[in-house]
Structure 1
Amino acid sequence: MYFPNDDTGNVLADMAEAGVDLSVEHNVVYFHLFENKDDAQALAAHIETQYQEYQVTLKPDEIPNVWDVDCVVKQIPSYDNIVEQEQWFEKLSAKFNGYNDGWGIEIND
């Protein structure tokens, strides 16, 4: 399997090399950071009401005064799916004064 030589492609290549089946759906988690709790809560509420396919978790980050909004969606973690989803979240998070902080997949043994 070929992946582009960028951060997303490298992560997917590492996952494939580790034996993760990238041709089936996984819970993909998209991470977002906020410096203001109200902004983080507003994004979480917006996603919960407008996009029911996502599971949303709001929690304090390890860094003081920073908030995490984690959004989980079941999808095939293809390069195109990940890039498209990250671009969408980047625009959405910016509307609430936040920014993307990467993604990952939940592996169930």
Structure 2
Amino acid sequence: MNFPDDETGQVLAEMHQAGIDLSQSHDVVFFHLFEQESQAQAMVEHIKEHLPAVKCNLHPDETPNVWDLDCTVVMTPSHEAIVTQEEVLEKIATSFSGYNDGWGIEA
């Protein structure tokens, strides 16, 4: 398989090399960081209302005063699908003063 020459393409290539079947649906987790729990909770509420298929897990980060919001989407992890979903969630996170911190597949 050929993957685009960017960070997402590199991660997908590594997963493919590790034997993950990228033609199947997986739980893809998009990670977001916030300085305040209330900001992260506001994103959770927004997602519940507008993207009910996305599952959210809000928890304290290992770093003090940082909150992690993990957003899980069941999807076939193509480059285009990952980039598109990441852009949607990053736009939402930014509107609540958070930012994207990457993505991964639950193994």
Using structure 1 for the length normalisation, give the TM-score. 0.95
Question: Residues of 2 paired with 1:81 and 1:73: CA distance?
Answer: 11
Using structure 2 for the length normalisation, give the TM-score. 0.97
Question: Residues of 2 paired with 1:72 and 1:80: CA distance?
Answer: 17
User: Within the alignment, does 1:66 sit opposite 2:66 as a pair?
Assistant: yes
Within-5 A mapping of 1:28-107 = 28-107=28-107
Structure 1 stretches of 4+ with a deviation exceeding 2 A read none
What RMSD in Å do the two structures reach over aligned CA positions? 0.7
Bigger mean CA offset, 45-54 vs 8-17: 45-54
Mark the runs of 5 or more structure 1 residues left unpaired by the alignment. none
Mark the runs of 5 or more structure 2 residues left unpaired by the alignment. none
Amino-acid identity (%): 54
User: Within the alignment, does 1:19 sit opposite 2:19 as a pair?
Assistant: yes
